A and B are shown apart, each in its own frame.
Chain A
Amino acid sequence: MAEEKKGFFKRLAAGLSKTRENIISGFDSVFVAYTEIDDDFYEELEEILIMGDVGIKAATDIIEDLKKKVIDKRIRNPQECRELLMESICGQMSVNEADYEFEKKKSVVLVVGVNGVGKTTSIGKLAWNLRNQGKSVCLAAADTFRAAAGEQLNEWAQRAEVPIISGQDGSDPGSVVYDAIASAKAKNTDVLIIDTAGRLHNKKNLMNELGKINRIIDREYPEAFRETLVVLDGTTGQNALSQAREFQAVTPVSGIILTKLDGTAKGGIAAAINSELGIPVKYIGVGEKIEDLQKFDADAFVKALFDVNIEND
């Protein structure tokens, strides 16, 4: 039995290394390789979508949509599918100008997410971004749980040159939020950004705590424009969908910040979240520097998705 297992493993390793050596470029390779539109053609497109973390359901939906269009428009040439496919992915991803309304109003931005997705870093970048637009910004360090989270945010506050309200490590995050709102009101701050502790979305108590923070904001600062951003790690797979869903259950999520897209991860999960939950991606994190937070551009995103490398066998 041990012999057999080894054989299987070797085969797998060989398969993978072959893949690494034999790389050609994404969707386009499929469009070039096929002369007619058949099941294999659709299947390969679906595979590429899955490899970009788009997920089975969203990938199937996109391909079904494409099939319909192909029939409706009587398309025969695979090449012509390219535009249609981009269109149908793009259609699911569009962001409205209105989605950035909070940047122009007196607003409270609550930033949530699981551990290690880059909440604090994203907040630092967002603060710098807003300040550069001439807004007055204040940060609230409501992550009183993780070791040195406050210090980390403090560092970002200094870099972005914005004030920060923080509490003692281990103190009630609700009280920090309360103080920050009072300060924002007193100083007539434009945008108050609240950093929260990373929490796995299946931990009931921590999620309830978030609900409490949400209620405090509603109660203490009802006139403020509310924006709640879930930060998702771009390398995360299908679990991101579950994350977005659970956060939405405790606080009204209005947008997503997708981080760590400077690697080779495509963040295709964004397409799934957008189509299944209707939450738009508003910003993407593309690097470590303070200016590396960009507004989301669906076209560019889809192009990147098209750039996935696949095995050609």
Chain B
Amino acid sequence: MAFENLSDKFQNIFKNMRRKGRLSEDDVKAALKEVKMALLEADVSFKVVKTFMKAVQEKAIGQDVMNGLNPGQMVIKIVNDEMTSLMGTETSELKLKGGNDVTVLMMMGLQGAGKTTTCAKLASKLRSRGRRPVIAACDIYRPAAIKQLQVSAEKVNVPVFEMGTETPPPQIAVKAVEYARENGYNVLLLDTAGRLQIDESMMEELQEIRRVVDVDQTILVVDAMTGQEAVNVAAAFEEKIGIDGVILTKLDGDTRGGAALSIRATCGKPILFVGMGEKSEDLEQFYPDRMSSRILGMGDVLSLIEKTQENLNEERAREMETKLRKASFGFDDYLESMEQMKKMGGMSSILQMLPGMGGSQLSQIEDQIDESQMKRTEAIILSMTPKERSNPDLLNQSRKIRIARGAGVDISEVNKLVKQFDQARKLMKQFGGKIGGKRRGGFKLPFGGGLF
């Protein structure tokens, strides 16, 4: 495949290094050359790559030759450390004022970066944290921009302040602040129009908004797929407006996301959130260390655990685990784990976070998981009686015929599901002792292995 993931790339490089065990200076150089290529292919800015490689090489060569302790791991560690430091050493929280003070957030970026969608997602996120957000429609240029904002905001139940397309955006911003104060909102998001960083008059408009309104945070919204241009964009917005934080969108695509590194290196401002999908809960916290370990091919297992914990009630998880161990796992539990999975963004988004699941491997597996198949499975289970669901052994031929009819599928599909389910249960019985024993403290999958 010409288009491997960056993770794959690194994995390939370091797989070879591990096998060698010890590394000479030349090996470090050769490996770093590959790393450089991988970074460039990942769209990390050329200038950033150059500086990055220089720094890593200086460190790697000196250290490795001197202590000679598992050099392969050493290089990984150095690359990882440097990359993490490049992306920010810690998670950055969005700073908001306390109480009823209105925090004004100005969203800005190029056209099509995803500002409007992100506005709605961010507002929704803030509200779930107990804030009272309102969004002001300051994009008076793009056709139907206000309407798009209204519809998106309505979906997440956040109010929109708008004054049509005739009032200049700075004036709208002023009025919006007044509106927010008078109506008891404490976060105001300004959804500005997309603009090119070289468009002087449009950049002046943002400066004007900053002059007339007390903007607390300016947030640059950037498409994660941006190429070498990312540096120019970040530099120009930083210079002319000033950037307080960055949101990276469309990271659920198969982009290698080199823009994250480039932008961070250029403006030095934290990446606050990443957009991982179409739904409002798909705006996630950005973890520099995890991002870099993900790039390095260690997988984002940490992120997966957290996501699961957020969505899964701890108690239910324990209950499920016990059931798994005793193999008293019924169709109801199966249905529930499917729901959990949907909340987490479907099977593929979970797979992406696991180590070694990048590029070609992922697409192979994706071919096997048909989400519409999951829907049919759901229909089959929903056509069972509660008794049948908790005790799958009840299912005889006549029951199966009834279920197939109820779900509108062929009886062979019901048979297949029941068979797979039985196999999974048997498997679980066998491994019953091991789950929770050997893997205690580790990550426990709440769904039956092999069922998908």
Taking a contact as CB atoms closer than 8 A, the residue among A2, A156, A245 that contacts B3 in the complex is A245
| Chain B residues in 8 Å Cβ range of A55 | 41
Q: A118-B111, A260-B110 are in contact. Are A235 and B229 (CB under 8 A)?
A: yes
State A51–B232 Cα separation when bound (angstroms): 11
The 9 tightest CB contacts between A and B, nearest first, are A237-B227, A116-B112, A155-B143, A237-B43, A147-B151, A5-B85, A151-B144, A148-B147, A148-B148
| Chain B residues in 8 Å Cβ range of A233 | 112, 223, 225
Q: Which residues of A from 116 to 152 have beta carbons under 8 Å from B? A: 116-118, 146-149, 151-152
Taking a contact as CB atoms closer than 8 A, the residue among B3, B150, B229, B348 that contacts A264 in the complex is B229
Taking a contact as CB atoms closer than 8 A, the residue among A8, A116, A241 that contacts B85 in the complex is A8
| Chain A residues in 8 Å Cβ range of B148 | 146-149, 151-152
Number of interface residues of A (CB under 8 A): 60
> Taking CB as reference atom, which chain A residue is nearest B257?
A239
25 residue pairs A–B, Cβ–Cβ below 8 Å: A8-B86, A9-B85, A11-B55, A12-B265, A16-B47, A47-B46, A51-B228, A53-B227, A55-B41, A116-B111, A146-B148, A149-B148, A151-B147, A154-B143, A169-B151, A200-B252, A202-B253, A235-B227, A236-B225, A237-B225, A239-B43, A239-B254, A260-B110, A260-B111, A263-B232
Contact, CB under 8 Å: B40 / A16: no
| Chain B residues in 8 Å Cβ range of A88 | none
- Is A311 engaged at the interface, CB distance under 8 Å to the other chain? yes
| Chain A residues in 8 Å Cβ range of B268 | 9, 13
Q: Which residues of B contact A (CB under 8 A)?
A: 2-3, 37, 40-43, 46-48, 50-52, 55, 81-82, 85-86, 89, 110-114, 141-145, 147-152, 155, 196-198, 223, 225-233, 235, 250, 252-256, 258-259, 265-266, 268, 348, 363, 366, 371-372
State A149–B255 Cα separation when bound (angstroms): 25
State A147–B135 Cα separation when bound (angstroms): 16
Interface of B is mostly: helix
Contact, CB under 8 Å: A11 / B51: yes
- Is A214 engaged at the interface, CB distance under 8 Å to the other chain? no
- Is A269 engaged at the interface, CB distance under 8 Å to the other chain? yes
Q: How far is the CB of A54 from chain B (nearest CB, A)?
A: 9
Q: Which residues of A from 1 to 39 have beta carbons under 8 Å from B? A: 1-2, 5, 8-9, 11-13, 15-16, 19-20
Q: How far is the CB of B438 from chain A (nearest CB, A)?
A: 33
Contact, CB under 8 Å: A152 / B226: no
State A269–B228 Cα separation when bound (angstroms): 10
State A201–B255 Cα separation when bound (angstroms): 10
Q: A202-B254, A263-B196 are in contact. Are A237 and B228 (CB under 8 A)?
A: yes
| Chain A residues in 8 Å Cβ range of B144 | 148-149, 151-152, 154-155
| Chain A residues in 8 Å Cβ range of B196 | 260, 262-263
